[in-house]
Chain A
Amino acid sequence: MYLTTSPIDLPSLLHESRASDGAVAVFIGVVRNENEGRATTRIRYEAYGPMAESEMDKIAEGLRREWPAAQVRMMHRVGPLEIGEASVAVVATSPHRADAFAACRAAIDRIKTTVPIWKKEYHPDGSSDWVDPTRGSTGREDAPDRIRGS
């Protein structure tokens, strides 16, 4: 299981390292209080649960092929989250740090790309937006495109 509606249990993810592991790389995604300059008061993640589990399983398979020495564990929170709470955690262990760092980075990058999970941001004025990373914004029609011209 890669999805949870409860707070992510980081100690249990960290606890699973092997005696041969000399490196543990950890990424934790945390709910921020703003996005694109607009204040966020809370967020809610929604998932296509069975497909998200399956896609994360495919990511895990790919990571095992590409970094056979590494062991990667991933957990994504769904449902309502408050500012400062962990939304996603990746723990990659390996005999040496290069594989742990690389597998950890690849895992979170792939999670953001293929796993069917959506994020709704709530603002102080009571409005809300579904975040659309493909637009470099929160999906508002008037949002600035920060990528253009860079």
Chain B
Amino acid sequence: MTVRILYFASFREAAGRDEQRLDLPEGSKVRDLWAALAASLPHFARFPSMPPAAVNRAYAPGDTALADGDEVAFLPPVAGG
């Protein structure tokens, strides 16, 4: 399956792009995707634990199963207001 990953703020700058598509094994969960990204990006590997994640524009825990076409984003600490 293929998911679309969106990057924002400090994560966008660290990744050097706004988004990417990534092929994942069937049955992959949000935390598996984070592990894959952390393995390829040193900036992400520095995080002691998975940051908040969103699947299809809603917060989703690490054990959320991903599906083909999902829009996934890992969120740096929010600072609105």
The residues of A with any CB-CB pair to B shorter than 8 Å are 29, 45-48, 50-52, 54, 76, 87-88, 108, 111-120, 130-135, 139
Bound-state Cα–Cα, A46 to B6, Å? 13
Number of cross-chain contacts by CB at 8 Å: 71
9 additional A-B pairs beyond A48-B6, A112-B79, A116-B78, beta carbons within 8 Å, are A48-B75, A51-B73, A52-B80, A87-B81, A111-B81, A112-B81, A118-B10, A119-B79, A139-B10
Given A48-B8, A116-B75, A120-B9, A29 and B81 touching (CB < 8 A)? Answer: yes
User: Which residues of A lie under 8 Å from residue B10 when comparing CB positions?
Assistant: 118, 130, 139
Please name the residue on chain B nearest to A108 by beta carbon: B81
User: Which residues of B lie under 8 Å from residue A47 when comparing CB positions?
Assistant: 80
Bound-state Cα–Cα, A52 to B75, Å? 12
Interface of B is mostly: loop
Given A48-B75, A51-B58, A76 and B9 touching (CB < 8 A)? Answer: no
Contact partner of B79 (CB less than 8 A), chosen from A50, A54, A108, A132, is A132
Interface residues of B in 14-58 (CB under 8 A from A): 54, 57-58
Q: Quick check: B80 and A46 within 8 Å, CB to CB? A: no
